[in-house]
Amino acid sequence: MRKIIASIIISSALLLGACNTVRGVGDDIKSVGRAGERAID
């Protein structure tokens, strides 16, 4: 169980570190949504 929690914390830190800000996270989510829409079309 501790390994699972540790891996979640590490992955979250890496993802948030890549975005730098809350605004960056929002931009990343928007870009994923746009890419998904393009793939569907």
Domain ranges of the chain: 2-40
pLDDT digits (tens, 9 = 90+) for 4-41: 887 888 787 777 666 566 677 778 888 888 887 888 87
| CB half-sphere exposure, 3, CA atoms < 13 A | 0
Distance CA 21, CA 37 (A): 25
3-state helix, strand, coil in the chain (%, to 5): 90, 0, 10
Q: Which two tokens stand for residue 41?
A: 């079309």
Q: What is the pLDDT, as a whole number, of residue 41? A: 73
Q: What is the pLDDT, as a whole number, of residue 20? A: 62
Q: What is the pLDDT, as a whole number, of residue 21? A: 67
